Amino acid sequence: MSGRWSEPQVAPFSGQWPDSSPTWSPDGKYIVFVSTRPKVPLKESPKPGEPIPGLVSNLWRVDRSTAGWSEPVRLPDEVNITAAIFKPSVAANGDVFLTVIGPDAAKSIYVSRWQNGSFQPATLLPFSDGAKLDVDPEVAPDESFLIFSSGGRIDGDQHERLYLVKREGDHWGAPTLIRYQNDVTKYGASTDNEPKLGRDGVTLYFSSDRTEATHFPRTHAQAEDDLKRMNSWDNSNSNVWMFSLKGLI
């Protein structure tokens, strides 16, 4: 839009219930997203304070056409295997990668394969065992690699970091920590998560609450620059960052 971003708008299929983590299919024909809307439409709105039946965190889909967006449709139980499903990613062949929270504190990455016109029961990926708190899968359209966020894979550090795992023939390789220019130190206090591939397939966008390292003593000019940064982005809140995966994939 004239070289500038437009103002955000609520999508026509959203706003009634908490919706999050939208992901486009590689062909741009549909979106899969997380929603806590009831599995079965309510016959009437509950009164304030009353519990809402059937409220779970599951994956839903909307299709895009020249006429607009379809009504949201919940993905089948083969995909939504629990009541705590989060952050999906869709491959070009229709496979859906997803985060499953639980049982207890477990956080793992699963995949539901699209075969012969239907989804197969979601299965745990071999490198994700629930002990390392793996979340937020982002798969390449051809499934040649996958980016995800994980806490606990570095001894003494529970902050979420970005990891890359590559496809090696008929199996996945070992996850490796992604390092990027000016990233936090090995035991830095920031969190990197919610990775998203750009349309070019090599630009990675992600969320991070990282801040610039501060070393003392500071000059007055440096302190003035610190204040400017804190009034713009360097305030421990999450911001969107980006870097190129060239050389890594």
In-domain check, residue 234: no
Task: Give per-residue pLDDT as tens, 103-158.
Answer: 988 999 999 999 999 999 999 999 998 889 999 999 999 999 999 999 989 888 88
Would you say residue 224 lies in a domain?
A: no
| Residue 212 in domain | no
Partnered with residue 86 across adjacent β-strands are 99
Give the CA dihedral 148, 98, 14, 78, nearest 10 degrees: 170
Structural domain tally of the chain? 1
DSSP state of 186: T
Judge whether 92 lies within some domain: yes
Domain assignment present for 70: yes
3-state secondary structure of 240: strand
Q: Which tens digit of pLDDT belongs to each residue from 155-198?
A: 888 889 999 999 999 999 999 999 887 776 555 668 999 999 99
Supply the range of the domain harboring residue 134.
19-43+52-194
CA pseudo-torsion sign 205, 125, 57, 40 = positive
